[in-house]
A and B are shown apart, each in its own frame.
Chain A
Amino acid sequence: MATYANLENVLNDIEQSTGLPNAHYTDSTLFEEEKHALIFSEWAGLAVASEIPEPGDAKPYEFLGMPILMVRDDDGAVRVFQNICRHRGMILVSEPRRIEGAIRCPYHSWCYSKKGKLVSTPHVGGPGRNVHKSIDRGTLGLVEIRSHVWMDVVWINVSGDAPAFADKHSDLIDRWADFNVPLHHGGNDSRFELGLDTNWKLAIENYCESYHLPWIHPGLNSYSRLEDHYNIELPGLYSGQGSKAYRQLKGGDGEKFADFHGVGEKWREQAEYIAVYPNVMLGVHRDHTFTIILEPVSISKTIEHVHIYYSEANTQEKLRRKNTAQWKEIFIEDIFVVEGMQRGRSADGFDGGRFSPIMDTPTHCFHQWAASSIQSHRSLMNAAE
């Protein structure tokens, strides 16, 4: 294996440290390494559960090249499987649809239940003979990927060995206990995608700091001034920023979205924006939340999947559209920055850049998590060789 720049300096104290070396943004071999070290080993965001609202709804994904099927089973639970048949590895479901009965493989018609059980193997013992002693259905169910739903995000742990989601993220779950209420997806006008010519990590790095607000989002200055912001960091898990000057959106007649039920006094004028490592960016406010799932497509391409949620199912469409438009404008303002930093990573010899010891602590926190996770992955790999 090629040797890569050592990451010790990333792990240094913020006053001395530099960011991850260029290759982590430009070299496809490192994209592949980080796929395992930073994404498959963690609880990564795959999609949102609202995309499969009813039992039987099924939606296929390619997540970092891996074919995945998300299904809502008959008991209403979200399940995530490898989207392939245990017979010859055929892709099972190619487009979103409702599974009425069983998931039938389109090749030789082996059938699986929505819970992944192999229920039939037609003609496997010859025409009209559907059993064979070597084909043990009990061991040939779909390969299930560990999943957990929180804040409507379907989090998956591909490696299967991360601590349980509720344990790993207990701090954040407690921090945002006020939002542990039904979140109502605003529907089609409350979801959109943005394609970015950048490495996924730069989207996180930009999201979690407030340092750029005055210059990139001058429109926020009036109600979200830099001095009203504070940094949020929990090493190894998440980082972001909070604002103490949140103002609710108002429609033409002064109408507002209803608050989340029981949301505490704390959130009257407060909002928080947190990047949960590796790839989910969340924002919470008294009257709405949003989720951005980053889909890393390649070393330099990322898709942001944005979803906005409210406290009740029946919100006013006009106001929702206004809110979507406002967030979209802000997220679009960030595009030239994350794409510009990506292009910047082609400058030979760039040292990863320096951090403001005051303003960049959330970004530094992310770099430290990334560097130490990559290091432990490398030492595991070396030990295995």
Chain B
Amino acid sequence: MSEELNSKILAAHCEKDIHSLIRLYVEASKTTGNHDEECFFLTNAYICALETGSSETKFLHDQLKKYGREI
């Protein structure tokens, strides 16, 4: 992931801006060529969505389930 994205993620963690974290982690999941890494970031996005009750929860859950990473 780019330096820029990385620092945005850190800043969002710092500010406990969970809504932005969903978007940023989804973005991060797209920058990696590695499937495990992609799932790692998708998982983080999913947890942030779950915590905030975001409308993206279902999509992220489906995605992880499709990859066999969630039930």
Residues of A bordering B, CB below 8 Å: 100-102, 104, 109, 111, 119-120, 122-123, 126-131, 137
CB distance from A130 to the nearest CB of B (A): 5
A130 touches B70 (CB 8 A): yes
Q: Can you list the 8 inter-chain pairs with the closest CB atoms, starting with the nearest?
A: A101-B53, A128-B39, A128-B40, A100-B53, A104-B51, A102-B50, A127-B40, A128-B36
Pick the most buried of B38, B44, B51: most chain A CB atoms within 10 A of its CB.
Answer: B51
A129 touches B69 (CB 8 A): yes
Q: Which residues of A contact B42 (CB under 8 A)?
A: 128
B70 touches A120 (CB 8 A): yes
CB distance from B9 to the nearest CB of A (A): 15
CB distance from B34 to the nearest CB of A (A): 9
Cross-chain contact of A102 among B36, B39, B43, B51 (Cβ < 8 A): B51
Q: With A128-B38, A128-B40 as given contacts, are A120 and B69 in contact (CB-CB < 8 Å)?
A: no
Q: Which residues of A contact B38 (CB under 8 A)?
A: 128
CB distance from B28 to the nearest CB of A (A): 12
Pick the most buried of B41, B54, B71: most chain A CB atoms within 10 A of its CB.
Answer: B71
Pick the most buried of A102, A111, A128, A129: most chain B CB atoms within 10 A of its CB.
Answer: A128
A109 touches B69 (CB 8 A): no
Q: How far apart sit A54 and B62, CA to CA, in the bound complex (Å)? A: 30
Q: With A129-B69, A131-B69 as given contacts, are A100 and B36 in contact (CB-CB < 8 Å)?
A: no
Q: With A101-B57, A123-B40, A123-B43 as given contacts, are A130 and B69 in contact (CB-CB < 8 Å)?
A: yes
Q: Which residues of A contact B39 (CB under 8 A)?
A: 127-129
Cross-chain contact of B51 among A111, A123, A126, A129 (Cβ < 8 A): A111
B44 touches A122 (CB 8 A): yes
CB distance from A342 to the nearest CB of B (A): 44
CB distance from A176 to the nearest CB of B (A): 39
Q: How far apart sit A120 and B71, CA to CA, in the bound complex (Å)? A: 9
Q: How far apart sit A126 and B40, CA to CA, in the bound complex (Å)? A: 9
CB distance from A137 to the nearest CB of B (A): 8
A130 touches B36 (CB 8 A): no
The reply to whether the CB of B37 lies closer than 8 angstroms to some CB of chain A is: yes
Residues of B bordering A, CB below 8 Å: 36-44, 46-47, 49-54, 57, 64, 69-71
Given contacts A122-B43, A128-B43, A129-B39, 12 further A-B contacts (CB under 8 A): A100-B51, A100-B52, A101-B50, A101-B51, A101-B57, A111-B50, A120-B70, A122-B47, A127-B39, A128-B36, A128-B38, A128-B41
Pick the most buried of A109, A111, A127, A130: most chain B CB atoms within 10 A of its CB.
Answer: A130
Q: Which residues of B contact A100 (CB under 8 A)?
A: 51-53
Q: Which residues of B contact A102 (CB under 8 A)?
A: 50-51, 53
Q: How far apart sit A102 and B52, CA to CA, in the bound complex (Å)? A: 7
CB distance from B27 to the nearest CB of A (A): 16
Q: How far apart sit A129 and B41, CA to CA, in the bound complex (Å)? A: 11
Q: Which residues of B contact A126 (CB under 8 A)?
A: 36
Q: How far apart sit A102 and B53, CA to CA, in the bound complex (Å)? A: 7
Q: How far apart sit A203 and B40, CA to CA, in the bound complex (Å)? A: 55
Q: Which residues of B contact A129 (CB under 8 A)?
A: 36, 39, 69
Q: With A130-B64, A130-B69, A131-B71 as given contacts, are A120 and B40 in contact (CB-CB < 8 Å)?
A: no
A104 touches B50 (CB 8 A): yes
Q: Which residues of B contact A128 (CB under 8 A)?
A: 36-43, 69
22 examples of A-B residue contacts, CB within 8 angstroms: A100-B53, A101-B51, A109-B47, A111-B50, A120-B50, A122-B43, A122-B44, A122-B46, A123-B40, A123-B43, A127-B40, A128-B38, A128-B39, A128-B42, A129-B36, A129-B39, A129-B69, A130-B43, A130-B64, A131-B70, A131-B71, A137-B71
